[in-house]
Structures are given as structure tokens and as C-alpha cells.
Copies of this chain bind each other. A is one copy, B any other.
Amino acid sequence: MDNLKELSSVKTFGGWQKRFSHPSAVLDCDMQFSVFVPPQAEQGHPLPVLYWLSGLTCTDENFSTKAGAQRLAAELGIMLVMPDTSPRGEGVADAPDGAYDLGLGAGFYVNATQAPWQRHYQMYDYVSTELPALLNANFKLGKAAIAGHSMGGHGALILALRHPQRYTSVSAFAPIVNPMDCPWGQKALSAYLGEDRNQWQQYDACHLLASQSHFSLPMLVDQGLADNFLDTQKLSRPLQLVCQQQGIEAQFRYHQGYDHSYYFIASLIDDHLRFHAQHLSLTE
């Protein structure tokens, strides 16, 4: 496989959980990512793909080990792709105080313009362009959908809002929808992009959606009501408000008692897989 080094391959649910490393030109470092290849790959048809973007502190492995998504993905024949959440490796800048919400594990899916970040922190281009090209060169892939959790929900939403033609559908668990106006987002955006808030707008789902009334990509958002970050980090609700204001149809669901953890994701991942499967096949 071009530029891909297979690090592991483990059978699960009749398919294969695999981990690869590759040199990333965009990020100027070696990267790892995980995929689940469903059993239907053996039939030789193009596989529909769901990109999963993880949240703060995660690597490519949190979703693959904790979400339990492979069971239904194997049944539906969906390939899962799980990128890492930041550039990695020696020489890659990190938060000077080792904070969990900046630097390693906290790329925020933006293209950094500020020192010391701009050399490696180009996660927007990596996830939107370089990684899909690499995958398409190495696997026989069909249409793509995108989903994510928290910071990764933010990533999924901004990618879908800026490139609706690339995805059949978008979904998110507890997404940061208004990073311009919450502590996690402001810390990351000011570090990576500088203090000019005009530069932040291209990475703010609420801002992006407020500027378009014709956005018609199917959208599903699940939010736990026992999520400690719900109000402080501007999860889910502000985006629903913009949808209502813009007359944009989207499904927002709120769940009593559920928190921000993978136990919440695991409980509802099947709904997201079925949601995307419906649109992945309708549009093929």
C-alpha cells in the first residue's frame, strides 16, 4: 500500500480492525490512524465510509476500543476511519504546561497560522484532504459520511458545513458548536490562529451555519443532559438555535442522565450508524 505501514490487524466481528502509520506531508510528521474494514470488503464493491473525529486527549484508538461501533458497522458494511486528534512526535509543539486542551491531543481540526504551531498543526487540511486522498488510493471506497464527539463533533460539523458536497450526512455527540464563545475554543483558536476573531469564524459551526440558509445535509446531534460541559463549553444547543433561526432541518436529541463519556457514545452509536447508512445508500 502506498506510503501506508500496517502496524496491526485484528479480526473483529468478521472484519478487521487495523492501525496504520504514514508520513503526512501536510502535518510534516508521521501519523497513525485506525480503520475498521467490514467483512463486505471481500466482495470488492466500493465501501461506504464513516469518518470519526475524536475529542480532546484522544488518539485514533479511543473510539475503536470503547464505542462498540464495529458490531453494526460489520452488519451494515460501513468502513470506519479514525484519525488521530493532533500531529504527534518529537519536535511537535505542545502546550508548555502540558495542558490537555492545547497542543498534543487537541488539534481542534484547524490550520494553525501562529508560532510555534503552524509547522505541524494543519489538522483541517489533514482530515479534509490528505487523509481521504490516502485512503482512496489504498482502499476501494464509496461515499463518505462524518461524525465526531466533543472537539471531534466540532470538527465533523465544520467539515460538513464547509464541504457539504463531500459528505452524505453529518452527526455529532456533544459537539462544541460555538468555539468562538467558550473556554476550550477560545484558548485553542487564539493560540493556533491569533487574536483576530475574523480568522476564527471559518472554524465555528454556529457562525458557518448562520451564514447559509441552504444547508441541506442531513444532521443528527445527540447531547447528554448530565454532561458537565453542556453549558460552559457551548455544546449542541446554540447550533440548534441557529438551525431554527435559519429554517434548517436537523435532528437534535437530548438525553436525561447521560454524561460526556464513551458510555454515552456507546449507548447511541448504533443510531448514528443507521442514520448514516440510510444516507450513504440513498445517495449512491
Contact = CB atoms under 8 A, between A and B. Distances in A.
Number of this chain's copies in the complex: 2
A12 B267 contact: yes
A216 interface: no
Q: Interface SS of chain A: helix, strand, loop or mixed? A: mixed
B266 A71 contact: yes
A14 B263 CA distance: 11
B65 A258 contact: no
A11 interface: yes
B71 A11 contact: no
Interface residues of A, number: 23
A194 to B, nearest CB: 38
Given A11-B257, A11-B264, A14-B267, 9 more contacts: A10-B259, A11-B226, A11-B258, A11-B263, A12-B263, A12-B267, A65-B65, A68-B266, A70-B267
Interface of A: 10-14, 17, 65-66, 68, 70-71, 224, 226, 257-259, 261-264, 266-267, 270
28 contacts: A10-B259, A10-B263, A10-B264, A11-B224, A11-B226, A11-B257, A11-B263, A11-B264, A11-B267, A12-B258, A12-B263, A12-B264, A12-B266, A12-B267, A13-B266, A13-B267, A14-B267, A17-B263, A65-B65, A65-B66, A66-B66, A68-B71, A70-B263, A70-B266, A70-B267, A71-B266, A71-B267, A71-B270
